[in-house]
Amino acid sequence: MIFGPRNQIVGLDIGSRAIKAAEAVETKKGWELKKFGSVEIEPGAVEEGVIKNPDVLSNAINQLFDLYNIKKKNVAISIGGYSVIVKNINVQKMPEEQLVESLSFEAEQYIPFDINDVNIDFQMLGENEQNPNQMGVMLVAAKKDMINDYINLIDSAQLNLCIIDIDAFALQNIYEVNYGEQGANVALIDIGASKTSVNILKGNTSVFLRDVSLGCTQINERIASIANCSLAEAEVLRQQEAPDKISPENLTQVFSSVVNDWCDEIGRALDFFKSTNPDEEMKHIVLSGGGANIKEFRELLAMQTSAEVNVINPFESFSIGNNQLDDAYLKQIAPQAAIAMGLALRRVDDK
């Protein structure tokens, strides 16, 4: 299906250290990338998905749209972290209208928040394989105050918020567009600045999802402690080949310690999945986010999980419809661009 311009949307990924925007269009020949850009934000403006400094974020969004000449106002954003709960549950078979009516009662036993403090949505997954009288439902709940903060942020940036997605689902969307449905289980792991999400797919269905408070900020914090500098300076030191305020030995030790923590936490998530799905093997892991660029992490994760570990390229099946989009830049930014690109696939009238 080809969508008209009025139905197109800008994917806006509001992270803890950067905001990314992507604009794509579906044509007769497939998907085409029209615009992509990113601006950094100061540490602390967003913490674990919670907005702490809306003025800084609003200004950064406006700067991003101006810098990359993005004219469209309709946007899709995504959320994650501990204020968002995603669970696959089984309920008695019933029509969708009846499920809507009974959802609050069904959800209350699975959500660790007051049911009056959350917004609830769901996706019907079909008949339960073990019990034909039941059906699977993906339950999504997010705290109302968090949702309201994002709505107010987009309003203050003078944009039109059309969709609020979940980080892991946006990542799943862009993975499927680029790589199609895989026969074996696939773990999509996004390592951001302060949050890591694990989404395990069986076919095109998410069967396990978990967010943990781990990310590249851990590296910056340890560098800052050793080098006695700010987090912003630590970010620069982390990316330098020969930093002057921290020795190569200390820098190597920091990276090794942090990526070991990441692998241990991811390993626990995969072990939990395997304990509830003993016949399922995990052969393929796809990484995204800033942490995906760390070679030592990729190698250690592959060794500890005995799985093939690759880094996503969200631009894989996209033609480039803008000569200002440099190939080298897109290659460099690719792992961090995945969520914004997944959001850019959405359309104004999506559910």
User: pLDDT per position in the chain (351 positions), as tens?
Assistant: 344 456 789 999 999 889 999 999 988 889 999 999 999 998 889 887 889 999 999 999 999 999 999 999 999 999 988 889 888 888 888 888 888 888 888 788 888 888 899 999 888 888 887 788 888 888 899 999 999 999 999 999 999 999 999 999 999 999 999 988 666 789 999 998 888 999 998 877 888 888 888 888 899 999 999 999 888 888 888 878 778 888 888 988 999 999 999 999 999 888 888 887 788 888 899 999 999 999 999 999 999 999 999 999 999 999 998 777 888 889 999 999 999 999 999 988 776
- State how far the Cα of 23 lies from the Cα of 12, in Å rounded to an integer: 9
Q: Which residue has tokens 């009974």?
A: 102
Q: Are strands 74-79 and 10-14 parallel, antiparallel or unpaired?
A: parallel
The CATH-assigned architecture of domain 5-83+143-344 is: 2-Layer Sandwich (3.30)
- Of residues 162, 73, 94, 85, the one with CA closest to residue 117: 85
When the candidates are 3.50.50.60, 3.40.50.300, 3.30.9.30, 3.30.1490.300, the CATH number that belongs to 84-142 is 3.30.1490.300
The predicted pLDDT at position 351 comes to: 60
Separation of CA 290 from chain center: 11
What are the phi and psi torsion angles at 107 (to 5°)?
A: -75, -30
Q: Where are the domains of the chain?
A: 5-83+143-344, 84-142
The predicted pLDDT at position 193 comes to: 85
Between the alpha carbon of residue 88 and those of residues 60, 136, 152, 186, 273, the distances in Å are 36, 7, 30, 17, 13
- State how far the Cα of 310 lies from the Cα of 301, in Å rounded to an integer: 11
What is the CB neighbour count within 10 angstroms for residue 338?
33
Between the alpha carbon of residue 162 and those of residues 75, 152, 155, 264, the distances in Å are 6, 13, 11, 38
The residues, ordered by sequence, that sit 6+ positions from 4 with a Cβ below 8 Å of its Cβ are none
Q: What is the DSSP letter of 115?
A: G
Give tens-digit pLDDT for 240-285: 877 888 888 898 899 999 999 999 999 988 888 888 778 888 889 9
- State how far the Cα of 270 lies from the Cα of 344, in Å rounded to an integer: 29
The predicted pLDDT at position 3 comes to: 44
